[in-house]
């Protein structure tokens, strides 16, 4: 059932701080075993409008470019990826959409569970069956990415994918009990606010960082490969360095969010966080 299970059964899958803080892992484990599942928030065809993309720009590039900057809130604007502002609005606020926006300001319902979770078919670190799941489309993309990396001798492992609302409740409560709420809120998400509940986020790691989630992963060959290549498989690094004020999270070079090839590439090429990207596209969201 679980793919290649690796190394240990630690449940400190949330962030780099966890291992440093000596969280009572047995307590976490006791609370989590049997409840972990993975979910995602996209539909399988949510990002497939590429054919719309370049037509207007090609036909009247100069004029459209100026409109993009001056009238970015126009509801009928079409950008390179083909999504209008209205398209994006309906997508990002739809829990089950592949573009679903989940952060400290926009949370998921407590009963939201993706209906297309599948067990990952890639090397994994932990034995918990819940977190070794992603939504079908994201799982497929992850497998393609990890296989492609392997061809370049870059060996990646999946550490934590889907996490249910209830798992996040237990996780966050344990962090609060051990570290206090203020600290917990900086490296963990409150229930409903975790992108892992979408089933579209995956934490990846490597042997070079002892299969942990640590900032130094970003400087490893594996971490650099991820930074350069993940968008080609539909993933973005969701919490980039220096963007803590926008994302609400410290730099997490291991946390990938699936958006589909087209949107991920768009966000990557603009060098923006997902929130900044949406604002640039004319969506009025709270940051």
Give the residue with the Cβ less far from Zn ion, 85 or 226: 226
163 binds Zn ion (CB under 5 A): no
- Give the span between the Cα atoms of 51 and 82, in whole angstroms: 7
203 binds Zn ion (CB under 5 A): yes
Residue 109 burial class via C-beta count within 10 angstroms: exposed 0-12, middle 13-18, buried 19 and up:
exposed
Listed in sequence order, the residues at least 6 apart from 1 whose beta carbon sits closer than 8 Å to its beta carbon are: 119, 129
Give the residue with the Cβ less far from Zn ion, 81 or 222: 222
Give the residue with the Cβ less far from Zn ion, 12 or 97: 12
16 binds Zn ion (CB under 5 A): no
255 binds Zn ion (CB under 5 A): yes
Give the residue with the Cβ less far from Zn ion, 83 or 112: 112
Of residues 31-60, which lie at the interface with Zn ion (CB under 5 A)?
none
DSSP lists the bridge partners of residue 163 as none
275 binds Zn ion (CB under 5 A): no
Task: With beta carbons less than 8 A apart as the criterion, state whether 160 and 13 touch.
Answer: yes
222 binds Zn ion (CB under 5 A): no
Longest C-alpha distance within the chain, in Å?
61
Instruction: Name the minimum Å distance from CB 204 to Zn ion.
Output: 9
Instruction: Name the minimum Å distance from CB 196 to Zn ion.
Output: 6
Give the residue with the Cβ less far from Zn ion, 196 or 281: 196
- Give the span between the Cα atoms of 67 and 268, in whole angstroms: 22
CA 146 to chain centre: 16
Instruction: Using CB under 5 A, list all residues that contact Zn ion.
Output: 203, 255
């Amino acid at each position: 059932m679980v793919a290649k299970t690796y190394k240990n059964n630690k449940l400190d899958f949330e962030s780099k701080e966890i291992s440093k803080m000596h969280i009572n892992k047995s307590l976490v484990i006791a609370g989590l075993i049997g409840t972990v599942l993975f979910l995602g928030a996209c539909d399988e065809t949510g990002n497939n409008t590429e054919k719309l993309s370049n037509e207007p720009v090609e036909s009247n590039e100069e004029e459209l470019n100026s409109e993009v900057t001056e009238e970015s809130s126009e509801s009928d604007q079409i950008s390179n990826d083909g999504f209008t502002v209205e398209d994006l609005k309906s997508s990002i606020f739809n829990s089950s959409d592949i573009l679903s926006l989940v952060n400290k300001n926009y949370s998921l319902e407590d009963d939201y569970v993706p209906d297309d979770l599948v067990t990952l078919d890639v090397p994994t670190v932990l034995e918990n069956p819940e977190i070794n799941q992603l939504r079908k489309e994201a799982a497929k993309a992850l497998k393609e990415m990890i296989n492609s990396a392997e061809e370049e001798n870059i060996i990646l492992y999946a550490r934590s994918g889907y996490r249910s609302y209830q798992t996040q409740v237990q996780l966050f409560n344990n962090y609060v009990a051990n570290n206090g709420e203020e600290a917990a809120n900086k490296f963990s998400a409150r229930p409903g606010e975790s992108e892992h509940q979408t089933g579209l986020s995956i934490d990846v790691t490597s042997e070079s960082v002892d299969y942990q989630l640590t900032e130094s992963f970003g400087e490893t060959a594996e971490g650099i490969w991820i930074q350069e290549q993940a968008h080609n498989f539909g993933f973005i690094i969701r919490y980039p360095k220096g963007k803590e004020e926008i994302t609400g999270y410290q730099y997490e070079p291991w946390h990938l969010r699936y958006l589909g090839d087209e949107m991920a590439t768009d966000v990557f090429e603009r060098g923006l966080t997902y929130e900044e990207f949406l604002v640039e596209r004319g969506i009025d969201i709270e940051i």
